């Protein structure tokens, strides 16, 4: 169904022409010619004051004004017209045409200059072309306005999408970083687990653990305390890098730092933080950075690791993550060594009896068994060798 066009809406779509002239006869001619031949609404004003009132109250598409009016120059209406209706056109009429006047009118924004006397056909042609030009300009202005609005909304959408993309990228970066850390932890755990599985006894277990830590975290002083049956800790191993493991130092670490590490589970201290805990026995640790971690198995503390080195090469977050990743595996390996150690004496006695009961045909004593003592790269520090890395 076609939309219904009412008289009010049709009147609004008709162009409005304002004629400003102080000659009644010319007013009638202009009204009859323009209003009778062109589908438009015609407004008449005799002077500038009346014209200004009409411009303020109506949307004028075309101004037809005489230059010489009783209260001023007809072109003085142009600024007000442009302010109210930027796309409106203007035609000036004058009975004293001149080249200078024409140039001034065109510079002021007049689209046509009509000298007196003029005939009806010439007037209609000029008014028709002026209205056509105004319609085109108004249509283009609406298109530009819609385009500006579309660009504005597009910019808003672009900013919104950009923010969402930034958030998504940040989330992806965070997720990728977390996945990378998890993969690194997994690689560390698997490599450390394999090394712990190769250890034959407690001494080799401690040796392999310290060797692996040095390869991953870099050179540092490493001390491992093992939990005793009486809830006390005994120094199981100490790896010197820059500071010797003198009894005074290790006892001070045991009394001062171990309780804090076992209470917190994990500590990472820079030189300033460590300075608050220094006692006379811990004076060698001045200017050091430290990591301590409690290794538990089924809720029971089996060992405590303490690493320290010069604060000029502090431990990184990656070092801390690596230590945390291998700590449960180290505790599990310690628990396995303890379980295996419970049967060592029986195995030794059985082996000794077998050797004693074995006789040769000649009646000589059986040859003594030679136990294989495999050399492992991780035992370099026990043999007093240079590190292999």
Per-range mean pLDDT, top range of 108-112, 186-190, 203-207, 291-295 = 291-295
Same domain, 112 and 217: no
Which of 82, 110, 144 is the last residue before a domain boundary? Answer: 144
Same domain, 339 and 211: yes
Same domain, 200 and 345: yes
Does a structural domain hold residue 154? no
Same domain, 207 and 136: no
CA–CA distance, 266 with 324 (Å, rounded to integer): 8
Q: Exposed, middle or buried: residue 105 (CB in 10 Å: 0-12, 13-18, 19+)?
A: buried
pLDDT bracket for residue 95 (50, 70, 90):
confident
CA–CA distance, 165 with 180 (Å, rounded to integer): 22
pLDDT of residue 342: 54
Does a structural domain hold residue 383? no
CATH number, residue 264: 3.30.450.40
Which of 144, 179, 208 is the last residue before a domain boundary? Answer: 144
Considering only residues 183 and 334, tell me which one the structure prediction assigns the higher pLDDT.
334
pLDDT bracket for residue 388 (50, 70, 90):
low
**What does the DSSP 8-state code read for residue 362?**
T
Does a structural domain hold residue 174? no
Region for residue 222 given its phi and psi (left: phi exceeds 0; alpha: psi -120 to 50; beta: otherwise) = beta
In the beta sheet, which residues pair with residue 303? 226, 295
Sign of the Cα pseudo-torsion (81, 82, 84, 88, in order): positive
Does a structural domain hold residue 209? yes
Same domain, 140 and 14: yes
Per-range mean pLDDT, top range of 84-98, 107-121, 150-164, 345-359 = 150-164
Q: How many CB atoms lie within 10 A of CB 303?
A: 23
Sign of the Cα pseudo-torsion (83, 89, 93, 97, in order): positive
Pick from 80-89, 158-167, 333-342: least confident = 333-342
Pick from 92-101, 174-183, 350-359: least confident = 350-359
Q: What is the mean pLDDT of residues 187-200?
A: 86
- Distant-in-sequence contacts of 108-117, Cβ < 8 A, 24+ apart: 108/75, 108/78, 109/78, 109/82, 110/75, 110/78, 114/64
CA–CA distance, 64 with 367 (Å, rounded to integer): 134
Same domain, 336 and 206: yes
Q: What is the mean pLDDT of residues 337-364?
A: 49
Same domain, 137 and 198: no
**What does the DSSP 8-state code read for residue 286?**
T
According to DSSP, the β-strands at 62-66 and 16-20 are: parallel
State phi, psi for 291 to the nearest 5 degrees.
-125, 130
Cβ contacts of 308 within 8 Å, gap of 6 or more:
220, 221, 243, 285, 288, 289, 290, 291
Same domain, 126 and 211: no
237-273: pLDDT as tens digits = 999 999 999 999 999 999 999 999 999 999 999 999 9
Q: How many domains does the chain contain in total?
A: 2
CA–CA distance, 247 with 251 (Å, rounded to integer): 6
Q: Does the structure show a pLDDT above 70 at 62?
A: yes
Does a structural domain hold residue 345? yes
CA–CA distance, 258 with 246 (Å, rounded to integer): 16
Q: What is the mean pLDDT of residues 191-196?
A: 87
Q: Does the structure show a pLDDT above 60 at 375?
A: no
Pick from 91-105, 124-138, 280-294: least confident = 91-105
Q: Does the structure show a pLDDT above 50 at 80?
A: yes
Residue 102's domain comprises: 7-144
CA angle, corner 218, sides to 215 and 220, nearest 5? 115
Q: And the tokens for 207?
A: 């040796």
pLDDT bracket for residue 378 (50, 70, 90):
low
**What does the DSSP 8-state code read for residue 270?**
-
Considering only residues 230 and 365, tell me which one the structure prediction assigns the higher pLDDT.
230
Computed over every residue of the chain, the mean pLDDT equals: 82
CATH number, residue 74: 3.40.50.2300
pLDDT bracket for residue 336 (50, 70, 90):
confident
Same domain, 135 and 200: no
Q: And the tokens for 169?
A: 């990228």
Q: Does the structure show a pLDDT above 80 at 339?
A: no
Same domain, 103 and 14: yes
CB 302 within 8 Å of CB 226: yes
Same domain, 65 and 125: yes
pLDDT of residue 376: 57
pLDDT bracket for residue 348 (50, 70, 90):
very low
Does a structural domain hold residue 380? no
Sign of the Cα pseudo-torsion (16, 66, 122, 33, in order): positive
Per-range mean pLDDT, top range of 186-190, 230-234, 247-251 = 247-251
pLDDT of residue 104: 73
Q: What is the mean pLDDT of residues 220-242?
A: 89
155-170: pLDDT as tens digits = 999 889 988 888 888 8
Does a structural domain hold residue 22? yes
Does a structural domain hold residue 215? yes
Q: What is the mean pLDDT of residues 36-51?
A: 90
CA–CA distance, 282 with 276 (Å, rounded to integer): 11
Same domain, 11 and 100: yes
């Amino acid at each position: 169904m076609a939309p219904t066009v009412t008289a009010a809406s049709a009147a609004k779509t008709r162009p409005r022409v304002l004629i400003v002239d102080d000659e009644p006869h010319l007013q009638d001619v202009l009204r009859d010619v323009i209003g009778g031949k062109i589908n438009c609404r015609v407004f008449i004003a005799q002077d500038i004051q009346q014209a200004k009132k009409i411009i303020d109250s109506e949307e004028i598409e075309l101004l037809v004004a005489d230059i010489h009016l009783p209260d001023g120059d007809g072109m003085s209406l142009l600024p007000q017209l442009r302010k109210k209706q930027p796309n409106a056109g203007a035609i000036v009429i004058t009975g004293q045409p001149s080249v200078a006047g024409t140039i001034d009118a065109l510079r002021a924004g007049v689209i046509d200059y009509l000298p007196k006397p003029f005939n009806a056909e010439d007037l209609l042609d000029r008014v028709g072309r002026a209205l056509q030009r105004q319609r085109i300009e108004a249509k283009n202005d609406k298109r530009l306005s819609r385009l500006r609005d579309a660009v504005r909304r597009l910019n808003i959408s672009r900013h919104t999408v950009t923010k969402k993309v930034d958030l998504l990228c940040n989330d992806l970066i965070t997720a990728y970083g977390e996945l990378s850390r998890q993969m690194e932890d997994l690689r560390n755990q698997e490599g450390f687990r394999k090394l712990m599985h190769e250890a034959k006894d407690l001494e080799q277990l401690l040796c392999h653990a310290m060797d692996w830590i040095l390869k991953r975290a870099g050179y540092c002083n490493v001390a491992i305390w093992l939990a005793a049956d009486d809830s006390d800790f005994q120094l199981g191993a100490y790896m010197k890098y820059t500071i010797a493991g003198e009894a005074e130092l290790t006892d001070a670490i045991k009394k001062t730092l171990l309780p804090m590490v076992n209470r917190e589970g994990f500590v990472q201290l820079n030189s300033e933080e460590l300075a608050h805990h220094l006692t006379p026995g811990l004076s060698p640790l001045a200017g050091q950075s430290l990591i301590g971690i409690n290794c538990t198995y089924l809720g029971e503390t089996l060992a405590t690791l303490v690493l320290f080195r010069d604060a000029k090469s502090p431990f990184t977050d990656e070092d801390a993550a690596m230590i945390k990743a291998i700590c449960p595996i180290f505790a599990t390996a310690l628990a396995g060594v303890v379980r295996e150690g419970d049967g060592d004496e029986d195995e030794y006695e059985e082996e000794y009896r077998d050797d004693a009961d074995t006789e040769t045909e000649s009646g000589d004593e059986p040859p003594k068994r030679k136990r294989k003592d495999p050399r492992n790269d991780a035992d370099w520090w026990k043999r007093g060798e240079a590190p292999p890395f």
